[in-house]
Structure 1
Amino acid sequence: MPDGSRHRPLSPSAPATTAFSCFGNQWYSEPMKHIVLSILAHVDAGKTTLIESLLYTAGAIRHPGRVDKQTTVLDDDIQERERGITIYAKEAGFAWRDTGVQVIDTPGHADFSSEMERGLSAADLAVVIVSGLDGVQSHTKTIWRLLEAGGIPALVFVNKMDLARRSEEDLLADIQTQLSAAAVPLDPEQIALTDDALLEEWDQTGEISRDHIRTRVAARKLFPVFFGSALHHEGTAELLDALTDLAPERVYGPDLGGFVYKRDDAGVHVKVTGGVLEPRTKLEDLRFDQVKVFQGNRLVNAPTGGVPAGMTAVVTGTDLVPGDVFGAQAPVEGPKLVPSMAYEILVPEGAPDLGPVMARLSAQDPTLDIESDRRGIRIRLAGEVQKEVLTRRIRDLAGIDVGFSVGTPVYRETITAPVKGYGHFEPLRHYAEVHLRLEPAKPGSGITVESEVDTDTLSPRFQAQILSALRHKRHKGVLSGSDLTDVKITVTAGKGHLKHTEGGDFRQAANRAVRQALMTAREAGETVLLEPMISFSIQCDSQFIGTVLYELEKRGASVQVQDDAITGSGPLRNLADFQNELRALTKGGGMLELGETQYEPSPDQDRILAEIDYDPVADLRNTPDSVFCAGGAGFTVPWDEAPEHMHIPLESERTAGYTPAGHRNSVVSEEEARKAFAAVSGRNKNEKKTVKPHKRRDMAMEQQDVTLHPPKPVCYVVDGYNIINSWSSLKTLPLHDARQELIRILSSYQGYLGCRMILVFDGWRVQDNPGSRNMRGALEVVYTRAGQTADAYIEKLVSVLRNEYQLHVATSDGLIQNSVLTKGARRISARELELAIERSAVIPEEYRQHGHD
């Protein structure tokens, strides 16, 4: 800062909550202030070089690495070093003065924007890098809008000033024009010009309070700008001073909570937002075994006392994925930069099953949105570079080379007016009914769910099941089968049965109610198809502008022309491959830069829907119909007739005093209770009757008491691939589809039985596969690690569980059948299991044939 006496380093206003912190190259025993810093930039702006300089200046590394020499400490992936770009978000920790800094290095290439967004979600403060050579780029503006949406304070570092051909004044003007007029150097006079109150303070006192500056930065009303060269460590110390002085101080609650922002081979990366996270922490059904933090670029065990709120950590022992929350943390907003093009993965004939590999990739990056059906595996990607990186990644994990089909846009659907929906699910010995209302929400809001039902009329347990089902379901529209978005779902009534409602009954009823509402909206013409519209910028010689504009008009784009630049937006389906066409039109001189994608109503809805040809009634995994019960059997009622059969009166039929749920409370007087007790206790007999003494018995002739042990709970262990290869309904399907179908069937059957069930898949041939265990409802799904067969895993599992459960092992493998028999388990053949499931009324015929969700 210009005046060190006026702007001396800020110290924290309150002591840290932990006695030990781990940053830099040593353990610090004094309390410290903690901040999580995210570094963001357009590709090639020098982001990784700046982080190397920060670590070096702070003493966290002895020698700074260089991108061009492939010696950086954070870009350690082989593809990152070969390409010279950051692909995966990386972390490091260091100390500067009285502050512990955890820095997250995020990708700068637009193809990896979702990875950048995940790293940004954990940040308290951001540094946006602008290249002194290029100025503000389109991706820089995308980053700035993300920071604004997240309310994250930001500093700006203009890098490569040793090579810049533009002056500081020119670059600052560019930043103020394209990002914010409140972006100014950390000079009191210039800061004063950004705010009337600061200007008055400057006029009266000749200085500005450092607390006032920090307050403006935290409120995103001031964005300090710094100039320097990360490669030569120019401006790095000044930037560190400002980071520690101006970082916002946050207040966290005492109850443990947090969210997941990343998952990789090291573990699950979490931001602690409440309490203290310690190793071997148990929280409801979660367990965190190891807890580690970054010291420099290395992971070390968490400090004594655990990781306090405000810090990040890497934990093991849990299957949480990015976006998940735990403890006191409220649900977090989903990602905004989701890829809008879908591709089919082309797998060579005879190649091994890609299921475990794709599950691993999906857990690390949920925005890939991997889906499969009888047509193959589909995945969402942002561009060609991400496609190349993923191809290499699959080759390393599975040992096969895959290809990709031509990309197709990812459409979405929404509604234009409120609509009511009704769902009922009542096969034999199951019961649930849900009424709800769908309303249009603001663009980009996704799906929000709430209930207006009083807990006195529908129990909190049942309401929690309904809300959980609605929040975790990917609701499909009825026009094209695309994801539903920008809709508010409100539960208006519900009914369950204290004895028969269990498992996924409310999930079935709630999802059918949503589909029934959408079908009603479709009949009324109140559903709309949304398609991705992408912004773009084109630079070309003025002589080609007319030709380019004509081609853009044919592709449905709206444009603006200024000098030799063309900007605008248009359908992604028509512009995704426009770069090659542009080169031909401009004789190789045109440059296309694609920007953000936003969903808007499609101008070609009728034509697109005709090509997709989706039948919502035939989609039995997302059926709008309801299931009722009569005469001891379930029967299906079409969606348009279902409201007439509902057990809860519809809103239009309810009286003022109607209770919209099946649970009613009544009060019994003490006198009534006494009379009822007397009646069932035999007190209605003649009390004056003489009681004769019992005849003396010889106790030696009496039967002796026997101690009875309660029966053990039942546990099923299922050999997944053996079942798939034995059932005729599954073995003809692609392996990935068959596996998902089996998981769906067993998940429902487990809910019907109400016992523990473990489904084991063999992953021993997948290279470097660490194995995994996750929950599908209450069904435990296990993929064995590399080198471990499912047979070996099941034998070990039986040995561990045989004293705790009555074990039933489902397999037709003769060797494993004999093995489990010797350990006291009961064997069930694949055919026996199939017949048992077919006899259960929990799975209607339509689901046995086509699967369910």
Structure 2
Amino acid sequence: MSTSIDQIRNIGIIAHIDAGKTTTTERILYYAKFLHRPGGVDEGTTATDFDEEEAKRGITIYSAAITCKWNGHTINIIDTPGHVDFTAEVERSLRVLDGAVVVFSAMEGVEAQSETVWRQADKYNVPRICFINKMDRIGASFERTFEEIQKRLRGNPVALQIPIGEGTTSTGDSFSGVIDLIKMQALFYDQESMGDQFEVQEIPEAYLEKAQEWRAKLLESVAELDEAVLEQYYETEDIAEDVIVRLLREATLKGDLQPTFCGSSLNYIGVQPVLDGVTSFLPSPLDRPPVEGINPQPKKRGGEAGGHETRGPSVDEPMCGLVFKIQADKHGDLCFMRVYSGQLKSGSRLLNPRTGKKELVSQLWRVQAGAREKVETDSIDAGDIIGVIGPKEAVTGDTLCEIQHPILLETISFPETVISMAVEPESSADRKKLEDTLQKLSRQDPTFKAVANEETGQTIVSGMGELHLEVLRNRMQKEFNLSVRVHKPRVSYRETVTAAVEKEVEFNRPSANGNMYFKVKLRLEPFKGDKPISIKSQLKPNELNPELEKELMETLRLGVDGGGQVGFPLMNVQFVVLDAQSREGETSDVAVEAATSEALHGCIMDAKIQLLEPIMKMEVVTPDEFRGNIQADLSSRNANVLNSEWRGDLCVMEVEAPLSQLFGYSTQIRSLSQGRASFSMEPLKYAAAPQSVLKEMIG
């Protein structure tokens, strides 16, 4: 029997690297009786870090889906990576999830990637609860982390728990349990049962006053959500428990508040209340608005495609779903899919509106991290997440829907790649194998791109960072038995123009079938919009035959993919069609294409090109004694220290630096700080590169 939709929770565990996401997921699976014994990240024995590369490095690389039961609810969990190189895994997971648990380290507080995942959750309007983890570590501070969520993330956390003690001390004030501020009771977890058993006691007298202060804050936050409750609170100075939970849920679903818990996943303290929080405060698919899309096909009685469509989370609606991940498999690629409406059945044929082709769904699998279970009923209802085998051409972000009721959902957008390197097979016999392998990897990973450079004969692969490309190289070796040679990573530069330039081209050539003629005038100008390149026409209606105009715009669109003068993709530019002239009987698609291509490349070659380079946003954390050396090194790398603040006895610097200067930085910072400093970085923007770089490239 399938779970009713209101009892389903689709959640992600998101955080900065090393905040404890995977350990928290492992404890959740243990308490939900999915695991007989929890594994450990350091031992490489966790359920969700099942890949050999993850176990070896002790980090999450691939988002892992897993399903468990808690208090009559089915919880589909996706454990996501924290490393910036794999931020696309977070992006695609949040696109299809209904809620999230954001994990913070009480020792480090809000970190760089914490801000990134919070912004990603904001982008998709994902309600969330917070878990302040690692309360047992030296230097842990619940209040400091709580305030950072308010200030740095502009969140509105509401504490439902506070810790009993903090860190590990010799004075007896070590972290030992949590205080439930709704029920006003203390929870102490049994270490022998690995936290599965816990005792409910009265709040220790030493913490009673503090607990009352925090409960007052909780009640004030809740009372402000409802006028009737506010009046009652002024009269009685209390609010009933069921009213607190109801109002917190309503505010969480709207994104107004984030219920906040605390504990230590490693030491088995405080994880079950987070599970309770998932079922009590985070949304079911029914609590989310209907998914929106467009009808990709013209209406039967005439009219254009593009009409607005919605699908509610009901089995009575036409089926539609979104493919958010593709995983290689010996028996065929496994597509991870969120079913938004209707019922997905094995053996059914669905439409892929992007390609206009039909895809077969041959099998449905319930994915459990590295394992999988066949779906016994051979059907999945709206609101669920499932693994599908069968689709051949679907890629990440594709919609699959009923053929009779087409809908195209919004796809998933991913950040631009920032680093490239050349790869070549060990032997020339493996060239075709390399091409096929890169094609498969590109289909599975939307932030990995492979392009053959026709001029140099090299194959250039691009990704999100050195670690990202290193992991993919290892995958080629292990999964595809393909050895490759790599050359030094290159930065993915972009080109733009600094001033407008116009070009008029008249194509007038005799041919065997008569004269060919077309005249076009283009302008290339600086432009900043939502997309890197904008193409628009200033032609008057009916000035040009619609078919010829379509060919002109298509030639422009394909032509800009060739890049700028140096060969890098164009960015922040606009091509404008100023004028076009044709002649009856002489203008053909060939003439339009030839004139347009010549005008486009003429604009590019005549323009004053500016090279853009990727700038990284960095957070550098160092003990004070090494700060001077690290700042001097950053300065030598053309980095700009924007701000610095203190986090305990550590100095945290906010830095912007060009990626081209950061290769090998992880080794250098360890050397400068005796291994005690750390850093994290993420792509921020593209900015003008030094003129010397452009001169060197042009020669």
TM-score (norm 2): 0.71
Distance (whole Å) between structure 2 residues aligned to residue 58 and residue 501 of structure 1:
70
Output the amino acid matched with 1:52.
E
Partner of residue 318 from structure 1, selected from 366, 369, 392: 392
Match of 1:576 in 2: 663
* Superposition map of 1:444-593 within 5 A: 445-447=531-533, 475-486=561-572, 513=596, 516-517=599-600, 519-520=602-603, 523=606, 525=608, 528-540=610-622, 542=624, 544-559=626-641, 560-562=643-645, 564-584=651-671, 586=672, 588=674, 591-593=677-679
Retained in 1: the 8 A contact 2:130–2:258?
yes
Q: 1:259 and 2:338 equivalent?
A: no
1:335, CA displacement in angstroms? 0.4
Task: List per-residue Cα deviations over 1:547-595 (Å, max 9, x = no partner).
Answer: 44344333322124556444321211112333444455x3635624132
Match of 2:698 in 1: 613
Residues 384-393 or 493-502, more deviating: 493-502
Match of 1:205 in 2: 232
Match of 1:596 in 2: 682
* Superposition map of 1:572-721 within 5 A: 572-584=659-671, 586=672, 588=674, 591-604=677-690, 606-613=691-698
Retained in 1: the 8 A contact 2:418–2:464?
yes
Distance (whole Å) between structure 2 residues aligned to residue 472 and residue 195 of structure 1:
56
Output the amino acid matched with 1:243.
V
Task: List per-residue Cα deviations over 1:399-451 (Å, max 9, x = no partner).
Answer: 34434322221112345677788899999899999988877654774456788
Instruction: Assess, with a 3 A threshold, how the Cα gap between structure 1 residues 268 and 571 changes in structure 2: closer, same or farther.
Output: same
Distance (whole Å) between structure 2 residues aligned to residue 63 and residue 276 of structure 1:
35
Instruction: Assess, with a 3 A threshold, how the Cα gap between structure 1 residues 488 and 292 changes in structure 2: closer, same or farther.
Output: farther
Match of 2:407 in 1: 328
Match of 2:113 in 1: 139
Retained in 2: the 8 A contact 1:448–1:489?
yes
Instruction: Assess, with a 3 A threshold, how the Cα gap between structure 1 residues 555 and 492 changes in structure 2: closer, same or farther.
Output: same
Retained in 1: the 8 A contact 2:559–2:600?
no
Q: 1:243 and 2:278 equivalent?
A: yes
Output the amino acid matched with 1:221.
D
Distance (whole Å) between structure 1 residues aligned to residue 673 and residue 266 of structure 2:
37
Retained in 2: the 8 A contact 1:423–1:512?
yes
1:60, CA displacement in angstroms? 3.6
Structure 2: stretches of 5+ with no match in the other structure: 161-181, 183-214, 234-238, 292-310, 312-316, 401-405
* Superposition map of 1:797-808 within 5 A: none
Partner of residue 282 from structure 1, selected from 339, 347, 350: 350
Partner of residue 131 from structure 2, selected from 139, 147, 157: 157
Distance (whole Å) between structure 2 residues aligned to residue 89 and residue 500 of structure 1:
57
Distance (whole Å) between structure 2 residues aligned to residue 196 and residue 514 of structure 1:
65
Partner of residue 114 from structure 1, selected from 76, 88, 105: 88
Instruction: Assess, with a 3 A threshold, how the Cα gap between structure 1 residues 315 and 557 changes in structure 2: closer, same or farther.
Output: same
* SS of corresponding position for 2:561: coil
* Superposition map of 1:403-482 within 5 A: 403-415=485-497, 442=528, 445-447=531-533, 475-482=561-568
Instruction: Assess, with a 3 A threshold, how the Cα gap between structure 1 residues 272 and 501 changes in structure 2: closer, same or farther.
Output: farther
Distance (whole Å) between structure 1 residues aligned to residue 468 and residue 583 of structure 2:
50
1:238, CA displacement in angstroms? 2.1
Partner of residue 479 from structure 2, selected from 374, 391, 397: 397
* SS of corresponding position for 2:17: coil
Distance (whole Å) between structure 1 residues aligned to residue 564 and residue 452 of structure 2:
19
1:263, CA displacement in angstroms? 0.9
1:537, CA displacement in angstroms? 3.3
* Superposition map of 1:729-808 within 5 A: none
1:155, CA displacement in angstroms? 1.6
Instruction: Assess, with a 3 A threshold, how the Cα gap between structure 1 residues 184 and 262 changes in structure 2: closer, same or farther.
Output: same
Residues 188-197 or 278-287, more deviating: 188-197
Output the amino acid matched with 1:154.
R
Instruction: Assess, with a 3 A threshold, how the Cα gap between structure 1 residues 607 and 43 changes in structure 2: closer, same or farther.
Output: same
Instruction: Assess, with a 3 A threshold, how the Cα gap between structure 1 residues 350 and 601 changes in structure 2: closer, same or farther.
Output: closer
1:531, CA displacement in angstroms? 0.9
Match of 2:308 in 1: none
Instruction: Assess, with a 3 A threshold, how the Cα gap between structure 1 residues 519 and 158 changes in structure 2: closer, same or farther.
Output: farther
Retained in 1: the 8 A contact 2:364–2:379?
no
Task: List per-residue Cα deviations over 1:504-551 (Å, max 9, x = no partner).
Answer: x69x968985884575376454x5432111122334454554444344
Task: List per-residue Cα deviations over 1:764-822 (Å, max 9, x = no partner).
Answer: xxxxxxxxxxxxxxxxxxxxxxxxxxxxxxxxxxxxxxxxxxxxxxxxxxxxxxxxxxx
* SS of corresponding position for 1:151: coil
Residues 177-186 or 404-413, more deviating: 177-186
Distance (whole Å) between structure 2 residues aligned to residue 576 and residue 535 of structure 1:
15
Q: 1:371 and 2:398 equivalent?
A: no
Distance (whole Å) between structure 2 residues aligned to residue 212 and residue 79 of structure 1:
44
Distance (whole Å) between structure 1 residues aligned to residue 249 and residue 572 of structure 2:
36
Instruction: Assess, with a 3 A threshold, how the Cα gap between structure 1 residues 295 and 490 changes in structure 2: closer, same or farther.
Output: same
Distance (whole Å) between structure 2 residues aligned to residue 472 and residue 259 of structure 1:
28
1:182, CA displacement in angstroms? 0.8
Distance (whole Å) between structure 1 residues aligned to residue 686 and residue 611 of structure 2:
8
Retained in 2: the 8 A contact 1:160–1:228?
yes
Retained in 2: the 8 A contact 1:272–1:313?
no
* SS of corresponding position for 1:352: helix
Distance (whole Å) between structure 1 residues aligned to residue 58 and residue 263 of structure 2:
21
* SS of corresponding position for 1:213: helix
Distance (whole Å) between structure 2 residues aligned to residue 302 and residue 517 of structure 1:
57
Partner of residue 345 from structure 1, selected from 416, 423, 447: 423
Give the number of aligned pairs.
581
* SS of corresponding position for 2:225: helix
Distance (whole Å) between structure 2 residues aligned to residue 571 and residue 491 of structure 1:
35
Output the amino acid matched with 1:359.
Q
Retained in 2: the 8 A contact 1:256–1:328?
no
Retained in 1: the 8 A contact 2:100–2:129?
yes
* SS of corresponding position for 1:230: coil
Distance (whole Å) between structure 1 residues aligned to residue 257 and residue 225 of structure 2:
11
Match of 1:271 in 2: 338
Instruction: Assess, with a 3 A threshold, how the Cα gap between structure 1 residues 387 and 285 changes in structure 2: closer, same or farther.
Output: closer
1:42, CA displacement in angstroms? 2.2
Instruction: Assess, with a 3 A threshold, how the Cα gap between structure 1 residues 470 and 520 changes in structure 2: closer, same or farther.
Output: closer
Partner of residue 358 from structure 1, selected from 428, 433, 438: 438
Retained in 1: the 8 A contact 2:615–2:687?
no
Instruction: Assess, with a 3 A threshold, how the Cα gap between structure 1 residues 71 and 587 changes in structure 2: closer, same or farther.
Output: closer
Task: List per-residue Cα deviations over 1:450-484 (Å, max 9, x = no partner).
Answer: 88999989999998888888778872442432223
Output the amino acid matched with 1:238.
P
Distance (whole Å) between structure 2 residues aligned to residue 387 and residue 199 of structure 1:
52
Output the amino acid matched with 1:597.
P
Distance (whole Å) between structure 2 residues aligned to residue 344 and residue 432 of structure 1:
40
1:63, CA displacement in angstroms? 3.8
Task: List per-residue Cα deviations over 1:368-414 (Å, max 9, x = no partner).
Answer: 21122344222124444334423321212343443432222111234
Instruction: Assess, with a 3 A threshold, how the Cα gap between structure 1 residues 163 and 524 changes in structure 2: closer, same or farther.
Output: closer
TM-score (norm 1): 0.59
* Superposition map of 1:20-39 within 5 A: 21=2, 28=3, 30-39=4-13
Instruction: Assess, with a 3 A threshold, how the Cα gap between structure 1 residues 59 and 589 changes in structure 2: closer, same or farther.
Output: closer
Q: Which structure is larger by alpha-carbon Rg, 1 or 2?
A: 1
1:70, CA displacement in angstroms? 3.3
1:161, CA displacement in angstroms? 2.8
1:264, CA displacement in angstroms? 1.0
Output the amino acid matched with 1:136.
V
1:302, CA displacement in angstroms? 7.3
Instruction: Assess, with a 3 A threshold, how the Cα gap between structure 1 residues 96 and 545 changes in structure 2: closer, same or farther.
Output: closer
* SS of corresponding position for 2:101: strand
Retained in 2: the 8 A contact 1:193–1:199?
no
Output the amino acid matched with 2:260.
V
